[in-house]
Amino acid sequence: MWNGLFFGLVSLFTPQASLPDTAAMKVEIEQFAQVYTIDTQRIHVRESTMNNPSPFLTNSGIKACVLHVNQHADAKRVWSHFLDSGHEGAEPAFLAFTSAHELTHCLMSEKGKRVAAKQALQEHLGIQFKNNVHFEETLADLVGLAYVQKVMPEYFEVVYRRVKSIRTDFSNRDPEHDSSRALNTHTIAFADQMFSKTDTIRLADAGSQ
């Protein structure tokens, strides 16, 4: 998610925003699991210092998904720039979006989930994704925005415009992360229904069928 921001805009002069600790991320996971069907027992949070510009990274497999909070200086600069929306008080909403984005990667590593979700989203959009990375990044953005719309609706437009702008501005440089064409209210609602605990499209149960 983060490469376009780093290579396009972040410099040594960008402030380093504080990243959440593991306890805060565990709370985010618990809150996400109240809205969407996800196996939280597979998810582990670690604080790391990785030579990587991404503030958050996931390493996922069938048995487990590890969510890294990267405390590297470059990652803090990227996080600071991402939060720079011009709207005071929006940071919790950006954290909610980011948590949901990363947890969608964990969700897609559960048995049977990726194939069903990819097929459904491709049919909905009428496109073929470039590869699994393009699919997952698009879905993760959609679920992230759907989540913000549910838990912090007052900041939905702020986060939506920020994510849409980033994905559009860096679409040529980072095509695997270009979700811009899918980022509309109808497709966000469709992605929400895939995994919601209350709505009718139940792809979240595909792995157990």
Residue 37 has pLDDT above 80, yes or no: yes
Q: Is residue 187 part of a domain?
A: yes
Q: Is residue 152 part of a domain?
A: yes
Q: Is residue 37 part of a domain?
A: yes
Two tokens, residue 170 = 């860096």
pLDDT band at 208 (very low <50, low <70, confident <90, very high): very low
Q: How many domains does the chain have?
A: 1
pLDDT band at 1 (very low <50, low <70, confident <90, very high): low
Residue 8 has pLDDT above 60, yes or no: no
170 vs 49 pLDDT, higher one: 49
Q: Is residue 125 part of a domain?
A: yes
pLDDT band at 30 (very low <50, low <70, confident <90, very high): very high
Residue-range definition of the domain harbouring residue 158: 3-198
3-state secondary structure the chain: CCHHHHHHCCCCCCCCCCCCCHHHHHHHHHHHHHHECCCHHHEEEEEECCCCCCCEEEEECCCCEEEEEECCHHHHHHHHHHHCCCCCCCHHHHHHHHHHHHHHHHHHCCCCHHHHHHHHHHHHHCCCCCCHHHHHHHHHHHHHHHHHHHHCHHHHHHHHHHHHHHHHHCCCCCHHHCCHHHCCHHHHHHHHHHHECCCCCCHHHHHHC
Q: Is residue 134 part of a domain?
A: yes
**Choice among 3-17, 66-80, 147-161, 173-187 with the minimum mean pLDDT:** 3-17
Mean pLDDT of 51-62: 91
Residues listed for the chain: 209
Q: Is residue 208 part of a domain?
A: no
Q: Is residue 81 part of a domain?
A: yes
pTM of the model: 0.87
- Beta strand 43-48 with 65-70 is parallel
The pLDDT value given to residue 199: 46
Residue 209 has pLDDT above 70, yes or no: no
78 vs 6 pLDDT, higher one: 78
